[in-house]
């Protein structure tokens, strides 16, 4: 029976000549003890007593040292009592007796081994927790770290060092021991969750978690004596995750992978540690604890796990790069689509415009309205395509800024006039509250126009009634411009991503124009290119306020620019008057017969658009699809103008122009180039080839007609004068 009390008495014969300083090591006495040497009390742990009411349990390892003088015999008496532990009572492990120096060395060696092992365990726990904090918060790392902490506490409590270092009474010492067993098993199982087969995950985790929770509750509620009676159950529950670890590692080692060598070593070490633990528990073998097998198992397991973790991290990086590349491919695709759609879209707009102008008196009013609606929708689509192309330019750093002195009031006024058509039929007011004498800002006028256009357009789109207004104030050297609306507003979640591309407000109130969600992203990047900032404040159903900053112009610079601008304006006005007079003089002497135009483009759709634009008198247009055909057609009659696309197969528009200039001068046969590029070098190449003028695609019908009219008038005027 393990319960009760008793005394151990031992007489030890010694040789005084070998030394007089001796020591004794008491590793484990259950569950209280008093040590007497030669009748004197040397150490008391707990309070052993015959009466259970006076008994106090406590158990931790201790050493005591004493001198014997000239005595040749030592009487050793140990009184013990145990009324709690059903596992064992009295002296559990053998005592150690010897010379003080030898005993200190032996005890220190054993204690240091345990401490070193615990430090290594804690090192694993520490870097697991750090990786969890700074990484992607994988909970398996957190559970692994907590499991190792439980291993440390279990190791220290198993060696009873924890109770010697911490002021824990016997009751709480028992609770801590069993809590670390149950919690360690649970955390170990959680750390293996992803490695287990699906059927084990579904059938084991929930029951095990419930069982662990119940046992933890029992450990807290029950007294030490009752907890000792459940010792076997606690051990079985702890062994379940250990067996699953071995199963998982064996399962993983079956796969051919260099990393699995660490798992194989961990399996061998874990099995060895588990078997040895069971043997010690069953037969109460006494020997120095060397936890190297468990250290090897944990180290190998951690090495395998972290190699897996960093492999996944590397794969995530590669996947991120692929996603970034895919995102770039997506952007490139959208830009390509935008480029390809611009010409057909503007072809639709130009043809629709031509039909409305030509057939307005014939078509029914409903048909005219439908065509005008078609053009409105087409213009909106054109804005979307322009946003795509603009965002691509910004990302590729192809935006050039022409900074100058600009009146923010004038720009806001012009943009509001431009967008006023969008408020037709809506109880919505567009208001410019910027004073006319507000100081000028130093910015790119076109970009400022674009910024205000996008912000006002966004406000109108999401405001169905009320007001969209523009305000401005001065803050030091900066102008603070705000665009506010009384629309649907934004929630907190959307505010965080309002300026990201392709993000739009989702709301129960539908909008007629959803768009791509690029306007705000473009505004932010354009403003940042100016050195300013763009911010937004909004509440759902309470409108939004977009505020951006631009640097104010210097006062002296404003005066200089104003003087220069006035001089240039007067000069331009005089030149315009002279040209107008000459134009009138030329027109009086010209014979306004039919104007023959030769159009060259490899795209039949573009040719149809040109035919539609120049379908009315006095124009007569002939179309061909290649430069070779155009050269052949030059001899087919008199031509007043050649319109050629630049990008054509076999022979480009530049080459065609050069060939034409070999036969005709610029006055004898003008050439107008159609180009999708407006870079300086592209324009210069066209003029070097001998072109008279150029029009950037997509073509604007009014601009194209004006340029054609100017070139043909000039050609006719020269021809008349040479007669």
Q: 401 versus 35: which is more confidently predicted?
A: 35
How long a stretch of residues is the chain? 723
Residue pair 671/711 in contact by the 8 Å Cβ criterion: no
Highest mean pLDDT among 70-79, 85-94, 360-369, 500-509: 70-79
* Confidence label for 433 from pLDDT (cuts 50, 70 and 90): very high
* Confidence label for 381 from pLDDT (cuts 50, 70 and 90): confident
Q: What is the mean pLDDT of residues 276-300?
A: 65
Residue pair 466/428 in contact by the 8 Å Cβ criterion: yes
Across 127-156, b (16+ Cβ under 10 Å) vs e yields: ebbebbeeeeebebbbbbbbbbbbbbbbbb
CB atoms within 10 A of CB 344: 14
Strands 595-600 and 403-406 come out as unpaired
137 Rama sector, left if φ>0, alpha if ψ -120 to 50, beta otherwise:
left
Backbone angles phi, psi at 442, to 5 degrees: -95, 100
Alpha helices for 135-197 (secondary structure H): 139-158, 161-165, 170-191
- pLDDT at position 272: 65
* Confidence label for 566 from pLDDT (cuts 50, 70 and 90): very low
Q: What is the mean pLDDT of residues 233-241?
A: 84
* Confidence label for 581 from pLDDT (cuts 50, 70 and 90): very low
What counts of helices (H) and strands (E) characterise the chain? 20, 21
- pLDDT at position 583: 38
> What DSSP state is assigned to residue 73?
E
Closest CA to 145 of 131, 161, 126: 126
Q: What is the mean pLDDT of residues 218-245?
A: 85
The mean pLDDT of the chain is 79
Tens digits of residue pLDDT in 600-646: 988 888 898 899 888 887 889 999 998 899 999 998 888 999 999 88
- pLDDT at position 558: 47
Tell me what percent of the residues of the chain surpass a pLDDT of 70: 81
Q: Is the per-residue pLDDT at 12 higher than 50?
A: yes
From CA 525, how far away is CA 408, in angstroms rounded? 19
Q: Is the per-residue pLDDT at 511 higher than 50?
A: no
Q: What is the mean pLDDT of residues 300-315?
A: 77
- pLDDT at position 572: 36
- pLDDT at position 549: 94
Q: Is the per-residue pLDDT at 178 higher than 50?
A: yes
Closest CA to 499 of 531, 479, 525: 525
In Å, how far are 76, 144, 288 from 291, measured between CA atoms?
32, 19, 10
Q: Is the per-residue pLDDT at 560 higher than 50?
A: no
Highest mean pLDDT among 364-373, 485-494, 605-614, 673-682: 605-614
- pLDDT at position 576: 34
Q: 96 versus 137: which is more confidently predicted?
A: 96
Closest CA to 545 of 463, 475, 479: 463
- pLDDT at position 257: 59
- pLDDT at position 584: 36
Q: Measure the N-to-C terminal CA separation of the chain; round to a whole number of Å.
A: 139
Distance, C-alpha 371 to centroid of its chain? 45
Q: What is the mean pLDDT of residues 546-574?
A: 56
Q: Is the per-residue pLDDT at 710 higher than 50?
A: yes
**Window from 186-190, 209-213, 464-468, 597-601 with minimum mean pLDDT:** 186-190
- pLDDT at position 79: 94
Give residue for tokens 């032996």: 106
Q: What is the mean pLDDT of residues 146-166?
A: 78
CB atoms within 10 A of CB 342: 19
From CA 692, how far away is CA 707, in angstroms rounded? 10
Structure tokens at 234: 């606690």
- pLDDT at position 591: 45
Q: Is the per-residue pLDDT at 529 higher than 50?
A: yes
From CA 562, how far away is CA 568, in angstroms rounded? 10
Residue pair 297/283 in contact by the 8 Å Cβ criterion: no
- pLDDT at position 397: 67
Query: 518: exposed, middle or buried (C-beta count within 10 Å: 0-12, 13-18, 19+)?
Result: buried
Q: What is the mean pLDDT of residues 518-538?
A: 86
Tens digits of residue pLDDT in 18-30: 777 889 988 888 8
Q: What is the mean pLDDT of residues 434-457?
A: 86
Closest CA to 451 of 389, 517, 534, 381: 534
In Å, how far are 413, 420, 452, 489, 527 from 416, measured between CA atoms?
5, 6, 9, 21, 20
- pLDDT at position 217: 94
**Window from 329-343, 563-577, 602-616 with minimum mean pLDDT:** 563-577
* Confidence label for 525 from pLDDT (cuts 50, 70 and 90): confident
In Å, how far are 48, 109, 162, 283, 300 from 59, measured between CA atoms?
11, 21, 11, 21, 34
Highest mean pLDDT among 530-544, 574-588, 681-695: 530-544
Dihedral sign, Cα of residue 629, residue 634, residue 637, residue 643 = positive
- pLDDT at position 160: 67
From CA 282, how far away is CA 277, in angstroms rounded? 9
Q: What is the mean pLDDT of residues 55-60?
A: 87
Q: Residue 623, CB half-sphere, CA atoms under 13 Å: how many?
A: 17
Query: 218: exposed, middle or buried (C-beta count within 10 Å: 0-12, 13-18, 19+)?
Result: middle
Which residues are CB-neighbours of 37 under 8 A, at least 6 positions away? 24, 64, 66, 74, 75, 76, 77
Q: What is the mean pLDDT of residues 543-558?
A: 79
Tens digits of residue pLDDT in 400-410: 777 888 888 87
CB atoms within 10 A of CB 48: 24
CB atoms within 10 A of CB 661: 16
Q: Is the per-residue pLDDT at 256 higher than 60?
A: no
Q: 51: helix, coil or strand?
A: coil
CB atoms within 10 A of CB 55: 18
**Window from 396-410, 468-482, 653-667 with minimum mean pLDDT:** 396-410
Write the DSSP string, 434-470: S-TTPPPEEEEHHHHHHHHHHHHHHHHHT-SSEEEEE
Q: Is the per-residue pLDDT at 304 higher than 80?
A: no
Q: Is the per-residue pLDDT at 275 higher than 90?
A: no
- pLDDT at position 396: 66
- pLDDT at position 509: 46
> What DSSP state is assigned to residue 481?
E
Q: What is the mean pLDDT of residues 278-290?
A: 58
Give residue for tokens 């304006």: 569
Q: What is the mean pLDDT of residues 671-697?
A: 78
């Amino acid at each position: 029976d393990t319960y009760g009390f008793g005394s151990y008495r031992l007489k030890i014969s010694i040789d005084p000549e070998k030394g007089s300083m001796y020591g004794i090591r008491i590793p484990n006495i259950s569950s209280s003890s008093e040590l007497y040497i030669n009748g004197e009390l040397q150490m008391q742990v707990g309070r052993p007593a015959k009466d259970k009411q006076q008994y106090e349990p406590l158990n931790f390892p201790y050493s005591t040292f004493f001198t014997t003088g000239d005595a040749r015999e030592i009487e050793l008496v140990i009184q013990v009592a145990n009324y709690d532990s059903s596992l064992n009572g009295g002296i559990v492990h053998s005592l150690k007796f010897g010379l003080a120096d030898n005993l200190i060395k032996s005890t220190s060696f054993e204690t240091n081994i345990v401490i070193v092992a615990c430090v290594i365990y804690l090192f694993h726990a520490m870097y697991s927790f750090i990786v969890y904090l700074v990484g992607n918060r994988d909970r398996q790392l957190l559970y692994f770290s907590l499991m190792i902490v439980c291993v440390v506490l279990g190791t220290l409590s198993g060696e009873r060092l924890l109770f010697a270092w911490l002021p824990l009474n016997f009751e709480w010492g028992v609770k801590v021991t069993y809590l670390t067993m149950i919690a360690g098993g649970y955390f170990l199982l959680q750390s293996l969750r992803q490695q287990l087969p699906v059927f084990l995950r579904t059938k084991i985790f929930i029951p095990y978690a419930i069982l662990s929770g119940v046992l933890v509750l029992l450990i807290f509620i029950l007294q030490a004596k009752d907890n000792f009676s459940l010792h076997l159950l606690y051990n079985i529950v702890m062994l379940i995750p250990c067996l699953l670890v071995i199963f998982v590692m064996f399962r993983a080692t079956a796969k051919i992978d260099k990393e699995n060598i660490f798992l194989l070593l961990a399996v061998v070490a874990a099995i060895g540690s588990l078997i040895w633990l069971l043997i010690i528990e069953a037969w109460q073998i006494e020997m120095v604890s060397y936890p190297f097998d468990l250290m090897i198992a944990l180290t190998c397991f951690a090495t395998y796990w972290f190699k897996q973790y960093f492999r996944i991290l590397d794969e995530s990086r590669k996947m991120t790069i692929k996603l970034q590349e895919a995102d770039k491919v997506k952007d490139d695709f959208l830009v390509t689509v935008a480029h390809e759609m611009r010409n057909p879209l503007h072809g639709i707009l130009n043809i629709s415009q031509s039909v409305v102008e030509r057939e307005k008196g014939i078509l029914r009013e409903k048909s005219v309205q439908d065509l005008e609606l078609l053009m409105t929708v087409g213009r909106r689509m054109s804005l979307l395509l322009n946003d795509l192309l603009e965002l691509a330019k910004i990302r590729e750093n192809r935006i050039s800024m022409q900074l100058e002195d600009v009146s923010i009031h004038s720009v806001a006024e012009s943009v509001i006039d431009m967008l006023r058509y969008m408020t037709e039929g809506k109880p919505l007011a567009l208001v410019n509250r910027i004073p006319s004498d507000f100081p000028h800002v130093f910015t790119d006028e076109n970009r400022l126009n674009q910024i205000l256009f996008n912000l006002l357009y966004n406000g109108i789109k999401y405001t169905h009634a009320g007001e969209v207004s523009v305000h401005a104030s001065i803050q030091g050297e900066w102008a603070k411009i705000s665009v506010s609306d009384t629309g649907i507003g934004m929630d907190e979640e959307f505010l965080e991503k309002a300026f990201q591309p392709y993000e739009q407000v989702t709301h129960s109130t539908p909008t007629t124009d959803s768009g791509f969600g690029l306007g705000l992203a473009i505004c932010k990047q354009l403003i940042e290119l100016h050195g300013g900032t763009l911010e937004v404040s909004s509440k759902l159903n309470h409108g939004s306020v977009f505020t951006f900053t631009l640097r104010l112009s210097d006062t002296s610079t404003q005066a200089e620019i104003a003087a220069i601008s006035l001089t240039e304006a007067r000069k331009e006005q005089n030149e315009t008057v002279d040209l107008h007079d000459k134009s009138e003089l030329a027109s009086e002497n010209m014979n306004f017969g039919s104007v023959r135009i030769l159009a060259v483009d490899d795209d039949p759709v573009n040719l149809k658009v040109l035919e539609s634009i120049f379908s009315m008198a006095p124009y007569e247009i002939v179309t061909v699809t290649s430069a070779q055909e155009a050269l052949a057609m030059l001899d087919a009659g008199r031509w007043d103008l050649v319109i050629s696309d630049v990008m054509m197969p076999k022979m480009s528009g530049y080459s065609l122009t050069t060939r034409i200039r070999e036969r005709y001068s610029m006055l004898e046969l003008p050439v107008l180039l159609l180009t999708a590029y407006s870079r300086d070098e592209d324009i210069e190449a066209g003029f070097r080839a001998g072109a008279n003028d150029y029009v950037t695609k997509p073509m604007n019908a009014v601009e194209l007609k004006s340029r054609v009219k100017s070139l043909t008038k000039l050609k006719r005027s020269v021809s008349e004068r040479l007669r």
